[in-house]
Amino acid sequence: MSQREETTAVFQVYSRAGCHLCEVLIEELLALARGRATVDVRDVDTRDDWRQEYGLRVPVVELEGRFLCQFELDRAAIAQALRGNAA
């Protein structure tokens, strides 16, 4: 595995099926992350702990457990996270 692969950012998106806001945010995040990071979409309804923590508060984007944004993509926060990961 190359050093680049070892340091690739992994964004976690807490989402749920049928959530239009989630679909839009994921599509926008995938475009920004392409070639620079991985996007791990997590359906909050598949685990009780996620459902309890996030409830109706989806979509939520985190990086390594650090909250970045919810409901709408914060492009500045994502760009900053990507820059910080490249350092």
Q: Is residue 71 part of a domain?
A: yes
Number of domains in the chain: 1
DSSP codes, the chain: --HHHHT-EEEEEEE-TT-HHHHHHHHHHHHHHTTTEEEEEEEGGG-HHHHHHHTT---EEEETTEEEEESS--HHHHHHHHHHHH-
Q: Is residue 8 part of a domain?
A: yes
Read off the pLDDT of residues 7-61 as tens digits, 9 standing for 90 and up. Answer: 589 999 999 999 999 999 999 999 999 999 999 999 999 999 999 999 999 999 9
Q: Is residue 87 part of a domain?
A: no
Its domain, for residue 29, covers 3-76
Q: Is residue 70 part of a domain?
A: yes
Q: Is residue 84 part of a domain?
A: no
User: What CATH number is attached to the domain comprising 7?
Assistant: 3.40.30.10
Q: Is residue 82 part of a domain?
A: no
Asked whether the whole model's pTM tops 0.75, one would answer: yes
